[in-house]
Amino acid sequence: MHTWTGADGIRLAGDSWGSPQGPLVILLHGGGQTRHAWGGTGERLGAAGYFAVAFDARGHGDSDWSAEGNYSQDTMVRDLGHVLLALGGRRPVLVGASMGGGTSLVAVGEDRVDATALVLVDIVPYTEPAGVARIQAFMSQKPDGFDSLEEVAEAISQYRPQRPRPRNLDGLAKNVRLGEDGRYRWHWDPRYLASPRDLERRHERLSACARRLTLPTLLVRGGSSDVVSEAGAQAFLELCPHAQYVNVVEAGHMVAGDRNDVFGQATLDFLRRSVPVGTAPVHPPHTSKSSGMSSGEDIADIP
């Protein structure tokens, strides 16, 4: 495990795969997830010659919680910038799922990160309110904690009934933390859910970012996702006509977790075209960079 210092001195925990000499790929997880969601993808990318790095967003996993409860999108973009500086200031590929995709889209669309390519995983400017509400309900349950890992597994099974319940529950320990009272709680700061959200302003901001994209872009949608509809995906493609699109039929919102084989191969094929190992990326570096400050307002993001 690596640790880096993010915005406001917060400690961020991360993992890496592959040789540091390979093209840098930053993997940003969704709200309520941890860096471990990218384990299979990171291994695949590392084996293919890329240097894949995944880190827990502030308030998630092994990263610090914000003392002020600050989980705004702008602050997460700042955290990303700090990690990139710690990695030598190299131009990255950004791969972001849900919350992490929103962070990636703002970082690139507002010229705060000069990336070589962008992969958005089940995230577009317009998300379906019912699907977002279902995620919020899942994340808000059991604020006093679970009695056992079996109870945690049951909650996940009810949320994702299409996936078989795991026989070995040890892996669930990465998604929860064991408190001094002997109860298991989700591995994120509950204040993340309490962050202010303006969905209309969020849609306007992400739409503006999508219009500004010029780098190679891939949108991956879960075919049965209730967060990103086909109409939402097509609306994004109208904003960003050069983007490539993959619809993973047998996956829901958690695309990488539901069909990691299909997702991993689609991402790797895209990267081999746009950022080949050992050669220059298709997208040249920007000749000018912004100060890293955003003109938009701080808006936290679910997904």
pTM score, two decimals?
0.90
Predicted local confidence at residue 295, as pLDDT: 36
Considering the domain architecture, whether residues 91 and 158 belong to the same structural domain is answered as no
Task: Give percent above pLDDT 90 in the chain.
Answer: 60
Predicted local confidence at residue 297, as pLDDT: 39
In a domain, 303, yes or no: no
pLDDT tens-digit profile of 179-213?
889 999 888 898 998 776 777 899 999 999 999 99
In a domain, 173, yes or no: yes
Considering the domain architecture, whether residues 53 and 121 belong to the same structural domain is answered as yes
Host domain of residue 253 = 2-128+192-274
Considering the domain architecture, whether residues 24 and 124 belong to the same structural domain is answered as yes
- Residue matched to tokens 């939402």: 232
In a domain, 300, yes or no: no
The set of residues, in sequence order, having a beta carbon less than 8 Å from that of 128 and lying 6+ positions away, is 226, 227, 228, 229, 232
- CA 75 to chain CA centroid, nearest Å: 14
Considering the domain architecture, whether residues 266 and 179 belong to the same structural domain is answered as no
In a domain, 22, yes or no: yes
Considering the domain architecture, whether residues 101 and 225 belong to the same structural domain is answered as yes
- CA 18 to chain CA centroid, nearest Å: 20
Considering the domain architecture, whether residues 154 and 9 belong to the same structural domain is answered as no
In a domain, 197, yes or no: yes
Considering the domain architecture, whether residues 96 and 11 belong to the same structural domain is answered as yes
CATH of the domain at 211: 3.40.50.1820
In a domain, 88, yes or no: yes
- CA 271 to chain CA centroid, nearest Å: 17
pLDDT tens-digit profile of 86-95?
999 999 999 9
In a domain, 33, yes or no: yes
Considering the domain architecture, whether residues 39 and 58 belong to the same structural domain is answered as yes
pLDDT tens-digit profile of 108-155?
999 999 999 999 999 999 998 888 888 888 888 888 899 999 898 888
Considering the domain architecture, whether residues 199 and 170 belong to the same structural domain is answered as no
pLDDT tens-digit profile of 26-48?
999 999 899 998 999 999 999 99
Strands 176-178 and 117-121: unpaired
220, two tokens: 């991956």
Domains: count for the chain: 2
In a domain, 171, yes or no: yes
Predicted local confidence at residue 175, as pLDDT: 79
Considering the domain architecture, whether residues 66 and 28 belong to the same structural domain is answered as yes
